[in-house]
C-alpha cells in the first residue's frame, strides 16, 4: 500500500466522566481512572500510550467529582522538594512522568451522561478541523509498540477513520461494537458496517471494537445530530459507521498486544497480576506466592 500524506494526529480525547459504579465504594470519592494498577493509576497508562504515539494535546471530558484527575497531573512542589532533600532521584524521575506542562491538558465538562458519542462531541470546539484520537482508559493494552502508536503508523498508510479491533468469543459479541468486514489485508480490515451491541446471534463478525480510535472531524459533524442508539445513548460507533463509504473510509486494526478490561473487577485483577509479573522487582516474589496459593488450593480439593 502506497504511503500517503495525512495530517498528523496530535490531539487525543479521554472520556473520563463515568461514575465507575462497578467499583463502588472505592469510586465514591475517587475517579475510577485513578484506581491503581500496580503503582500507577489507569489514566497514567493511557497518557503514556498517547505520548508514545506523538500526542501533544490532551482533552479530558470530565464530570463533577473528578478534581483528583486534575490534581494528579499538576506539579507537586512540596513533594518534589521533600524527595530532593532525601536524595530520592529515582522517585523524582517517576514523579516527573506525571507532570503535564501548562496548557497541555484541557478539561471539558459533560453535564449529562448521554453516552460515549456525546462525550466525544463535547470536545468538538477544542478538536477543530483535524483528525484526533480517542482513548478509553478502562481498556489497558499491553503492547509493544503501544496500541495507539501501532494505529498512528497504520493510519499513515490508510487515512480515514481507524478503530482498534480484536476477536472476541461469538457469545460475547453482543457486549461490544462489532465490525462488518469488507476485506482484509494483513492486520488491517476495511469496514463496511459497524453495529453497537448487536442482539445475540446477529453480530456480523466476532471482531470487536476496543477503546482506541483515530477519527476525522466528519465524525463530530455526524454526532451533531445527537441521535440515540443502543441503550438510549449517543453511540460513537453509529457516527463512525456513517463514514464507511466516505473518502478514506473506516478501518479496523488487529493490534498486537493483550487487552485488559479494567472497567470490570475480574479484568482489573487480571491486569494487576499480569503487569506485576512483567516487573523485575515484583515477578519472583509474586510468582512464588501464586504457585504456593495454587498448590494449597489443589491440596484442599
289-300 per-position pLDDT tens digit: 999 999 998 888
Residue 2 pLDDT more than 60? Answer: no
Name the pLDDT band for 3 (thresholds 50, 70, 90).
Answer: very low
User: 46: which residues sit within 8 A by CB, 6+ positions away?
Assistant: 14, 33, 135, 136, 137, 140
Split at pLDDT 50, 70, 90, the class of 6 is: low
Quote the DSSP letter at residue 245.
Answer: T
- Contact (CB, 8 A) for 139 and 261: yes
Of the candidates 257, 252, 249, the residue with the CA atom closest to the CA atom of residue 184:
252
For helices 283-300 and 265-277, give the axis angle rounded to 10 degrees: 130
- On the question of pLDDT at 225 being above 80, the answer is no
Q: Where are the domains of the chain?
A: 11-263, 264-301
Q: In the predicted model, is pLDDT for residue 5 greater than 60?
A: no
pLDDT number for residue 231:
58
Grid-cell match 462531541, residue found? 121
139-142/258-261 β-pairing: antiparallel
The pLDDT score that the predictor gives to residue 93 is 81
CA-based torsion, 239, 245, 249, 251: positive or negative: positive
For the stretch 129-182, pLDDT in tens is 899 999 999 999 998 999 999 999 999 988 899 999 999 988 888 888 899 888
pLDDT of residue 86: 86
pLDDT for res 83: 84
Percent of the chain past pLDDT 70, that is, above it, reads: 94
236 vs 226: CA distance, rounded Å: 10
The tens digit of pLDDT for each residue in 227-257 reads 655 556 778 988 898 888 888 889 999 999 9
pLDDT at 60 over 80: yes
Quickly name the fold that domain 11-263 has: Spore Coat Polysaccharide Biosynthesis Protein SpsA; Chain A (3.90.550)
Give CA angle at 35 (24, 93), nearest 5°. Answer: 165
Whether the pLDDT of residue 111 is over 90: the answer is no
Amino acid at each position: 500500500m502506497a504511503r500517503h500524506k495525512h495530517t498528523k494526529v496530535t490531539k487525543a480525547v479521554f472520556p473520563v466522566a463515568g461514575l465507575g459504579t462497578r467499583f463502588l465504594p472505592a469510586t465514591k470519592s475517587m475517579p475510577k481512572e485513578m484506581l491503581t494498577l500496580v503503582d500507577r493509576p489507569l489514566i497514567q497508562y493511557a497518557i503514556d500510550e498517547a505520548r508514545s504515539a506523538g500526542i501533544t494535546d490532551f482533552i479530558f471530558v470530565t464530570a463533577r467529582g473528578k478534581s483528583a484527575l486534575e490534581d494528579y497531573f499538576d506539579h507537586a512542589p512540596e513533594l518534589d522538594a521533600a524527595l530532593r532533600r532525601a536524595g530520592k532521584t529515582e522517585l523524582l524521575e517517576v514523579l516527573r512522568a506525571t507532570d503535564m506542562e501548562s496548557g497541555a491538558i484541557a478539561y471539558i465538562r459533560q453535564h449529562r451522561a448521554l453516552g460515549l458519542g456525546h462525550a466525544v462531541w463535547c470536545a468538538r470546539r477544542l478538536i477543530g478541523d483535524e483528525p484526533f484520537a480517542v482513548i478509553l482508559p478502562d481498556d489497558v493494552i499491553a503492547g509493544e509498540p503501544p496500541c495507539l502508536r501501532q494505529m498512528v503508523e497504520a493510519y499513515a498508510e490508510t487515512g480515514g477513520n481507524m478503530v482498534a479491533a480484536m476477536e472476541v468469543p461469538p457469545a460475547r459479541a453482543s457486549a461490544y461494537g462489532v465490525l462488518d468486514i469488507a476485506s482484509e489485508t494483513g492486520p488491517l480490515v476495511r469496514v463496511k458496517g459497524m453495529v453497537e451491541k448487536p442482539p445475540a446471534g446477529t453480530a456480523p463478525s466476532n471482531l470487536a471494537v476496543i477503546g482506541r480510535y483515530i477519527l476525522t472531524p466528519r465524525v463530530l459533524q455526524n454526532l451533531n445530530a445527537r441521535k440515540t442508539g443502543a441503550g438510549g445513548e449517543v453511540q460513537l460507533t453509529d457516527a463512525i459507521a456513517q463514514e464507511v463509504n466516505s473518502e478514506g473510509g473506516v478501518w479496523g486494526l488487529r493490534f498486537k498486544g493483550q487487552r485488559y478490561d479494567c472497567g470490570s473487577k475480574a479484568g482489573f485483577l487480571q491486569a494487576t497480576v499480569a503487569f506485576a509479573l512483567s516487573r523485575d522487582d515484583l515477578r519472583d516474589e509474586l510468582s512464588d506466592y501464586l504457585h504456593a496459593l495454587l498448590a494449597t488450593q489443589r491440596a484442599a480439593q
